């Protein structure tokens, strides 16, 4: 078994799937988790031609299920050297006052509780792996820069940023690195999920510009996970060249 093993959550689409392919190209063994079984098995079948792959159907919101998956890892897949906390989502692009409370709870349970569940379950393994082990948390520019309709999504990604910083403090001396990768506009299933399947809204967001791709972010994830063991990238904010910050919103009398 390859001595380098990556555990990737949300591996059935977007950054997670692209990361699985990138790590496999470099010869890493993989533990891939996700909720969509058919997609997960198709990806595993594709990548087993390159590297050993173990899969787990998993909803990261379920702490007991996460713990059970980690405890049941086959012997050859136990020595995790990189955790990619990718599972997450955005819902409800409407203003906060129009949002269904259930959408807020789903984002909190997935983006915050899910990330915490997986991290807590794998921390002993990563600490045992020691120098050069990595936790790569997928945040967002929304965790740093507010915009209309971001409400709980942006707040959840701000949690990812601060949790990553605080983990670094607690893990000092263990050799385990922690990075918050914060993508800007990227063309994945993100907007389709956020708008509950509105293909027109997704197409309109990316029309006429050049967004990031899932592969662009996978390359950054792989980069920070394979740096020399004495280097830790604390936070990596990545935006398309054609995306930048807007000015402050001003309300005016009519």
Active-site residues: which are they?
Answer: 153
- Provide DSSP, 107-162: HIIIIIIIHHHHHHHHHHHHHHH-TT-EEEEE--GGGTS--TT-HHHHHHHHHHHH
Q: Give kind and range of the element (H or E) at residue 54.
A: strand 53-57
Let me know the angle formed at the C-alpha of 195 by 194 and 201, rounded to the nearest 5 degrees: 115
Q: Which of 86, 83, 75, 85 is nearest to 52 (CA)?
A: 75
Nearest-angstrom CA–CA distance, 85 and 78: 17
Nearest-angstrom CA–CA distance, 132 and 225: 8
Structure token pair of residue 55: 């899969």
Nearest-angstrom CA–CA distance, 201 and 118: 32
Per-residue b or e along 65-100, where b marks 16 or more CB atoms closer than 10 Å to that residue's CB: bbeebbeebeeebbbbbbbbbbbbbbbbbeeeeebe
Structure token pair of residue 151: 């409400």
Q: Give kind and range of the element (H or E) at residue 47.
A: helix 37-47
Give the number of C-alpha atoms closer than 13 A to the C-alpha of residue 21, restricted to the C-beta side. 15
Nearest-angstrom CA–CA distance, 244 and 236: 16
């Amino acid at each position: 078994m390859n001595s380098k093993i990556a555990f990737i959550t949300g591996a059935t689409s977007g950054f997670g799937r692209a990361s699985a392919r990138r790590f496999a190209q470099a010869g890493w063994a993989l533990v891939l988790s996700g909720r969509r079984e058919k997609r997960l098995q198709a990806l595993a079948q594709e990548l087993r031609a390159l590297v050993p792959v173990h899969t787990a159907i998993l909803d990261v919101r379920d702490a007991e299920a996460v713990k059970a998956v980690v405890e049941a890892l086959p012997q050859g897949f136990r020595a995790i050297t990189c955790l990619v906390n990718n599972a997450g989502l955005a819902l409800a692009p409407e203003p906060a006052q129009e949002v269904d409370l259930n959408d807020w709870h789903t984002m909190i349970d997935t983006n915050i509780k899910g990330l915490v569940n997986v991290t807590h379950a794998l921390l002993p393994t990563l600490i045992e792996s020691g120098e050069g082990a990595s936790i790569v948390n997928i945040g967002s520019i929304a965790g740093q820069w507010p915009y209309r309709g971001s409400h709980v999504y942006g707040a959840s990604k701000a949690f990812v940023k601060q949790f990553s910083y605080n983990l670094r403090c607690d893990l000092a001396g263990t050799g385990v690195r922690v990075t918050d990768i914060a993508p800007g506009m990227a063309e994945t299933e993100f907007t389709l999920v956020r708008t509950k399947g509105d293909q027109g809204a997704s197409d309109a967001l990316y029309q006429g510009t050049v967004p990031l791709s899932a592969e662009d972010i996978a390359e950054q994830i792989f980069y920070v996970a394979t740096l020399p063991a004495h280097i830790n990238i604390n936070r990596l904010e990545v935006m398309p060249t054609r995306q930048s910050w807007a000015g402050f919103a001003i309300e005016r009398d009519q």
